[in-house]
Amino acid sequence: MTQVLYVLMAMGVGVGSAVQVGLVGQMGRLRGPEEASWISVLGTVTGMALLFTVQSLRHESPNLPSPFDTMTPFLAIAVLAIGALAIGLRGLDAYFAVAGVFGLLYLVGASYLAPRVGIALFVGGVTAGTLIASVGLDHVGAFGGAVQRISIVRVVGLVALLGGVALLRSGR
Protein backbone atom coordinates (compact mmCIF):
# COMPACT_ATOMS: atom_id res chain seq x y z
CA MET A 1 0.00 0.00 0.00
CA THR A 2 2.86 2.38 0.76
CA GLN A 3 4.25 1.87 -2.74
CA VAL A 4 0.89 2.82 -4.26
CA LEU A 5 0.95 6.02 -2.21
CA TYR A 6 4.47 6.77 -3.47
CA VAL A 7 3.36 6.25 -7.08
CA LEU A 8 0.40 8.57 -6.49
CA MET A 9 2.82 11.13 -5.07
CA ALA A 10 4.97 10.75 -8.20
CA MET A 11 1.85 11.34 -10.29
CA GLY A 12 1.24 14.50 -8.25
CA VAL A 13 4.77 15.62 -9.13
CA GLY A 14 3.83 14.98 -12.75
CA VAL A 15 0.76 17.18 -12.44
CA GLY A 16 3.06 19.92 -11.17
CA SER A 17 5.34 19.36 -14.16
CA ALA A 18 2.42 19.85 -16.54
CA VAL A 19 1.46 23.10 -14.81
CA GLN A 20 5.09 24.24 -14.92
CA VAL A 21 5.25 23.56 -18.66
CA GLY A 22 2.10 25.61 -19.13
CA LEU A 23 3.41 28.51 -17.05
CA VAL A 24 6.84 28.51 -18.69
CA GLY A 25 5.24 28.25 -22.13
CA GLN A 26 3.02 31.25 -21.44
CA MET A 27 5.99 33.24 -20.09
CA GLY A 28 7.92 32.19 -23.20
CA ARG A 29 5.24 33.70 -25.41
CA LEU A 30 5.26 36.90 -23.36
CA ARG A 31 9.01 37.31 -22.80
CA GLY A 32 10.93 34.70 -24.78
CA PRO A 33 12.12 31.18 -23.94
CA GLU A 34 15.39 32.15 -22.26
CA GLU A 35 13.71 34.71 -20.04
CA ALA A 36 10.94 32.27 -19.09
CA SER A 37 13.56 29.65 -18.19
CA TRP A 38 15.46 32.20 -16.10
CA ILE A 39 12.35 33.16 -14.12
CA SER A 40 11.54 29.49 -13.51
CA VAL A 41 15.09 28.74 -12.32
CA LEU A 42 14.97 31.75 -9.98
CA GLY A 43 11.76 30.38 -8.50
CA THR A 44 13.42 27.00 -7.95
CA VAL A 45 16.50 28.54 -6.34
CA THR A 46 14.31 30.74 -4.13
CA GLY A 47 12.27 27.74 -3.00
CA MET A 48 15.35 25.61 -2.32
CA ALA A 49 17.06 28.37 -0.34
CA LEU A 50 13.91 28.98 1.71
CA LEU A 51 13.57 25.23 2.32
CA PHE A 52 17.09 25.07 3.76
CA THR A 53 16.49 28.25 5.76
CA VAL A 54 13.39 26.75 7.37
CA GLN A 55 15.27 23.49 7.98
CA SER A 56 18.00 25.44 9.76
CA LEU A 57 15.45 27.37 11.82
CA ARG A 58 14.14 24.00 13.04
CA HIS A 59 17.68 23.28 14.26
CA GLU A 60 18.24 20.63 11.59
CA SER A 61 21.44 21.68 9.86
CA PRO A 62 21.63 20.76 6.18
CA ASN A 63 23.87 17.75 5.58
CA LEU A 64 26.22 19.78 3.38
CA PRO A 65 29.84 20.89 3.72
CA SER A 66 30.68 24.20 5.35
CA PRO A 67 29.53 26.94 4.89
CA PHE A 68 26.32 25.35 3.59
CA ASP A 69 25.67 23.58 6.88
CA THR A 70 24.26 26.78 8.39
CA MET A 71 21.33 29.06 7.65
CA THR A 72 23.34 32.17 6.71
CA PRO A 73 24.26 31.36 3.09
CA PHE A 74 20.78 30.07 2.32
CA LEU A 75 19.15 33.14 3.78
CA ALA A 76 21.45 35.35 1.67
CA ILE A 77 20.71 33.29 -1.45
CA ALA A 78 16.97 33.47 -0.73
CA VAL A 79 17.06 37.26 -0.37
CA LEU A 80 19.06 37.67 -3.60
CA ALA A 81 16.89 35.19 -5.51
CA ILE A 82 13.66 36.81 -4.30
CA GLY A 83 14.97 40.20 -5.42
CA ALA A 84 16.03 38.83 -8.82
CA LEU A 85 12.70 37.03 -9.18
CA ALA A 86 10.77 40.22 -8.36
CA ILE A 87 12.75 42.13 -10.98
CA GLY A 88 12.36 39.36 -13.55
CA LEU A 89 8.60 39.24 -12.99
CA ARG A 90 8.06 42.96 -13.62
CA GLY A 91 5.19 43.30 -16.06
CA LEU A 92 4.04 39.71 -15.50
CA ASP A 93 1.43 38.34 -13.15
CA ALA A 94 2.95 37.30 -9.82
CA TYR A 95 1.63 33.73 -10.13
CA PHE A 96 4.35 33.02 -12.72
CA ALA A 97 6.80 32.83 -9.79
CA VAL A 98 5.19 29.50 -8.89
CA ALA A 99 6.64 27.88 -12.03
CA GLY A 100 9.96 27.33 -10.28
CA VAL A 101 8.32 25.78 -7.24
CA PHE A 102 7.20 22.91 -9.47
CA GLY A 103 10.82 22.37 -10.49
CA LEU A 104 11.71 22.17 -6.80
CA LEU A 105 8.85 19.73 -6.26
CA TYR A 106 10.29 17.50 -8.98
CA LEU A 107 13.78 17.55 -7.47
CA VAL A 108 12.62 16.85 -3.93
CA GLY A 109 10.17 14.24 -5.18
CA ALA A 110 12.88 12.46 -7.17
CA SER A 111 15.29 12.44 -4.25
CA TYR A 112 12.66 11.04 -1.88
CA LEU A 113 10.52 8.77 -4.06
CA ALA A 114 12.93 7.26 -6.61
CA PRO A 115 15.02 5.44 -3.97
CA ARG A 116 11.82 3.97 -2.54
CA VAL A 117 10.06 2.79 -5.71
CA GLY A 118 12.87 2.70 -8.27
CA ILE A 119 13.69 5.08 -11.09
CA ALA A 120 11.41 3.43 -13.66
CA LEU A 121 8.33 3.49 -11.46
CA PHE A 122 9.03 7.05 -10.32
CA VAL A 123 9.47 8.27 -13.90
CA GLY A 124 6.43 6.26 -15.00
CA GLY A 125 4.30 7.86 -12.29
CA VAL A 126 5.57 11.34 -13.11
CA THR A 127 4.96 10.76 -16.81
CA ALA A 128 1.44 9.49 -16.16
CA GLY A 129 0.64 12.49 -13.95
CA THR A 130 2.15 14.87 -16.49
CA LEU A 131 0.18 13.48 -19.40
CA ILE A 132 -3.12 13.21 -17.54
CA ALA A 133 -2.83 16.81 -16.37
CA SER A 134 -1.60 17.95 -19.80
CA VAL A 135 -4.65 16.48 -21.52
CA GLY A 136 -6.86 18.33 -19.04
CA LEU A 137 -4.95 21.58 -19.47
CA ASP A 138 -5.06 21.26 -23.27
CA HIS A 139 -8.80 20.61 -23.13
CA VAL A 140 -9.42 24.04 -21.59
CA GLY A 141 -6.58 25.88 -23.36
CA ALA A 142 -4.88 26.66 -20.05
CA PHE A 143 -2.20 29.33 -19.90
CA GLY A 144 -3.11 30.65 -23.34
CA GLY A 145 -2.39 27.35 -25.09
CA ALA A 146 -4.34 26.05 -28.05
CA VAL A 147 -7.51 24.18 -27.10
CA GLN A 148 -7.17 20.48 -27.87
CA ARG A 149 -10.31 18.69 -26.78
CA ILE A 150 -10.22 15.35 -25.01
CA SER A 151 -10.95 12.57 -27.49
CA ILE A 152 -11.44 8.85 -27.22
CA VAL A 153 -7.98 8.34 -28.72
CA ARG A 154 -6.41 10.50 -26.02
CA VAL A 155 -8.32 8.66 -23.29
CA VAL A 156 -7.19 5.30 -24.71
CA GLY A 157 -3.62 6.60 -24.68
CA LEU A 158 -3.92 7.63 -21.03
CA VAL A 159 -5.41 4.26 -20.07
CA ALA A 160 -2.56 2.49 -21.89
CA LEU A 161 -0.05 4.68 -20.06
CA LEU A 162 -1.61 3.88 -16.69
CA GLY A 163 -1.50 0.20 -17.64
CA GLY A 164 2.20 0.60 -18.30
CA VAL A 165 2.72 2.08 -14.84
CA ALA A 166 0.77 -0.80 -13.32
CA LEU A 167 2.98 -3.26 -15.24
CA LEU A 168 6.10 -1.51 -13.97
CA ARG A 169 4.83 -1.84 -10.43
CA SER A 170 3.76 -5.48 -10.73
CA GLY A 171 7.01 -6.50 -12.42
CA ARG A 172 8.99 -5.99 -9.21
Q: Which of 93, 94, 98 is CA-nearest to residue 42?
A: 98
Q: What is the pLDDT, as a whole number, of residue 170?
A: 83
Q: How far apart (Å, rounded) are the C-alpha atoms in residues 54 and 48?
A: 10
Q: What is the pLDDT, as a whole number, of residue 172?
A: 64
Q: What is the pLDDT, as a whole number, of residue 15?
A: 98
CA 113 from centre of chain: 14
Residue ranges of the chain whose pLDDT lies below 50? none
Q: Which of 40, 39, 46, 45 is CA-nearest to residue 87?
A: 39
Q: How far apart (Å, rounded) are the C-alpha atoms in residues 133 and 137?
A: 6
Q: What is the pLDDT, as a whole number, of residue 128?
A: 96
